[in-house]
Amino acid sequence: MPPVAVPALAYEPVNCKRNDTQNLKKAKHITVAITDENNFCTMLTGYGIKDVASHEGCAEVYCQGELVDDGHPMPEGYILSSHFEQTDTYVQITGCINSEVWQHDPNDDGGQMDSHGWPFHCKNYQKFVSLLEPSTNTYCVRCCDKDDNTDCDTSHSTAGCSAVIPGKYEMKDGSPCMTPHEIKAQRLGEERKMNKKFKKHQRMRKD
């Protein structure tokens, strides 16, 4: 793989602020990495940030698996699925998240974090692009050999994961990613069932 190259251009202005969840370590973590579906790092905004797009410049790297020490630890339960794909020119991870875990706005269409205009980069690759989409509970990250838009197209930041990084956006069982509202409805349904069982059990004990 060619050495990492940070784009030689002026960085975009950063008007956001890092919050306490990003200050767990002294160094800023700005290098993503992808080994396989279990070991990778991608970009997240801080916990509770409601507008991803406005805080892209303050995003940092969160990692899981063997790469966990290379950034902040990935929030437990946040990644619901990860699908790995590798070609001769790029490597990528796509899948589903549970945005409620990180307290995203369930209606936020998200934002794009990449190495074009930001001091972010991907380990052992020339360029990368990543997107985070709370409203659809999807995420994606791709690292590319070439520092151009051939495979890592950073010119369509509002197009969404499926357009910028085609891949699998589904759960491990092949079902579609559930939206935040669908996950909430499912959880409430399960809670109602549990409450009914509990009340039934209490009545049986009284009898």
Residue 144 lies inside a defined structural domain of this protein: yes
| Calpha distance 161→175 (Å, rounded) | 17
Q: Identify the CA nearest to 133 among candidates 172, 157, 160.
A: 160
For 9-42, the DSSP string reads SPPPP------GGG-SSSS---EEEESSSSSEEE
Encode the chain (207 residues) as per-residue pLDDT tens digits: 333 333 333 334 456 666 666 554 545 678 999 999 999 999 999 999 889 999 988 889 999 999 998 999 999 999 999 999 999 999 999 999 999 999 999 999 999 999 987 888 999 999 999 999 999 999 999 999 999 999 999 998 889 999 999 999 999 999 999 999 999 898 888 777 777 776 666 676 776
Burial class of residue 90 (count of CB atoms within 10 Å of its CB; 0-12, 13-18, 19+): buried
Residue 27 lies in a domain: yes
Q: Calculate Rg over the CA atoms of the chain.
A: 19
For residue 189, being part of any structural domain is answered with no
The answer to the question of residue 201 being in a domain is no
Structural domain including 69 reads 20-177
Total domains in the fold of the chain: 1
